[in-house]
């Protein structure tokens, strides 16, 4: 009798083990189908993932080869694609008494497209990404990182066609849950770094309250030494000018509280040259226009430093911004006659974002 009981128990254990193994083998397919189902619910877009890999030992799963494309209009590039998205438990936070998650995007690509019609344009999803991630991962996301990302602004209808690209994009965002257990402050910290037009260096530091009813944040950003010739497709398509030489530096500081903001943007063009009769004589209208713009920017610049720049004041609220047009124009003359702007943040250097934040 005991032998029969032991035999039955053994077979029951074997059956349970087999069921667990089969369930483990099928689980990635179930999760993949669930993710595809959620992505199919996007308005005006369709999402798809090729596969899902589970790492139960670290409380994580990886979404492989994800792509989100627009379903209507004529948009030749996907809105979003990435070879890997990793969603996992943030174990470091668990040891501090907080059960939260983290998300890492590996080599994501975003394509924003401008076109004459809304159907052919691609500006992003109406539904916030955070809401979609909540459906894909049950934990609150406390840390968000991006490694080697790329962002494009494209205009296929402009002449010449425009492709403003920011590559080598890196983001480290911490304390997104506003947890006192994980940080000394209730603000989230975001650091970003990217290479505009495959040149230069743009760094952004952002401290914000993600749960404030209205935008509340401190923003600092600085762009270093971008060659102006890299902007020629954009400048020719939208302003009718081409740069011959020079660099662009830009700095901005912006503070916002309860929807009201105050700050500035300071663009500075160093050694800028726009007009060249040898290159710009084919089109008479373009010739005259570039001669005017080039002449004015050469005349109204700080000649000892060869800088053309200004400071644009930013003030008001996000519902009713108040552009300081007169102050911006006066600052052009201030730069030329009194003191040249530098296009750099005063007495500070924004930190470099780690190259492999995931």
Percent with pLDDT over 90 in the chain = 32
**Which has the closest alpha carbon to 102: 130, 155, 140?**
140
List, in sequence order, every residue forming a beta bridge with 196; answer none if it has no partner: 166
Alpha-carbon span 306 to 296, nearest angstrom: 13
Encode pLDDT of 42-97 as tens digits. Answer: 778 888 888 888 776 677 788 889 998 888 888 899 999 999 998 887 767 666 66
Closest CA to 273 of 251, 240, 295, 302: 295
Q: CB neighbours (10 Å) of residue 92?
A: 13
CA-nearest of 23, 180, 155, 207 to 100 is: 180
Q: Any idea what the Cα angle at residue 326 is, between residues 324 and 332, rounded to 5°?
A: 105
For position 14, what pLDDT does the model report? 62
The domain segmentation of the chain, as residue ranges, is 28-186, 196-358
How do beta strands 141-155 and 109-113 pair? parallel
State how far the Cα of 236 lies from the Cα of 280, in Å rounded to an integer: 12
Residue of higher predicted confidence among 136 and 212: 212
Give the integer Cα–Cα distance in Å for 139 and 266.
40
Is 153 within 8 Å of 112 (Cβ atoms)?
yes
pLDDT band at 112 (very low <50, low <70, confident <90, very high): very high
**Residue from 151, 136, 121, 115 nearest 44 by CA:** 121
Task: Quote the tokens at residue 7.
Answer: 């035999």
């Amino acid at each position: 009798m005991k032998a029969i009981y032991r035999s039955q128990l053994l077979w029951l254990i074997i059956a349970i083990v087999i069921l667990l193994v089969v369930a483990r083998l099928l689980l990635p397919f179930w999760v993949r189908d669930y993710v595809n189902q959620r992505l199919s619910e996007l308005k005006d877009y369709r999402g798809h993932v090729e596969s899902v890999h589970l790492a139960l030992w670290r409380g994580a799963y990886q979404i492989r080869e994800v792509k989100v494309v627009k379903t209507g209009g004529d948009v030749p590039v996907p809105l979003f694609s990435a070879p890997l998205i990793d969603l996992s438990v943030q174990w470091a936070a668990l040891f501090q008494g907080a059960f939260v998650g983290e998300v890492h995007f590996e080599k994501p690509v975003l394509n924003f497209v401008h076109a004459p019609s809304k159907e052919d344009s691609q500006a992003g999803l109406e539904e916030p990404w955070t809401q979609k991630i909540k459906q894909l991962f049950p934990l609150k996301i406390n840390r968000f990182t991006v490694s080697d990302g790329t962002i494009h602004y494209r205009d296929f209808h402009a002449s010449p066609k425009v492709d403003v690209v920011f590559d080598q994009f890196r983001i480290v965002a911490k304390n997104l849950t506003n947890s006192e257990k994980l940080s000394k402050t209730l603000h989230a910290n975001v650091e970003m770094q990217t290479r505009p037009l495959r040149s230069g260096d743009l760094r952004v530091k952002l401290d914000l309250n993600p749960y404030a009813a209205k935008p509340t944040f401190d923003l600092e950003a600085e762009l270093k030494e971008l060659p102006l010739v890299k902007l020629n497709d954009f400048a020719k398509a939208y302003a009718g000018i081409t740069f011959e030489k020079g660099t662009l530096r830009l700095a901005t500081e912006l503070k916002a509280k309860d929807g009201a903001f105050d700050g500035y943007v300071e663009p500075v063009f160093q050694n800028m040259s726009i007009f060249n009769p040898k290159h710009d004589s084919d089109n008479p209208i373009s010739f005259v226009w570039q001669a005017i713009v080039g002449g004015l920017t050469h005349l109204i610049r700080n000649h000892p430093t060869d800088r053309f720049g200004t400071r644009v004041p930013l003030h008001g609220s996000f519902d009713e911004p108040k552009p300081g047009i007169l102050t911006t124009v006066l600052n052009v003359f201030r730069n030329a006659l009194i003191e040249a702007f530098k296009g750099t943040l005063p007495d500070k250097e924004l930190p470099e974002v780690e190259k492999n934040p995931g």
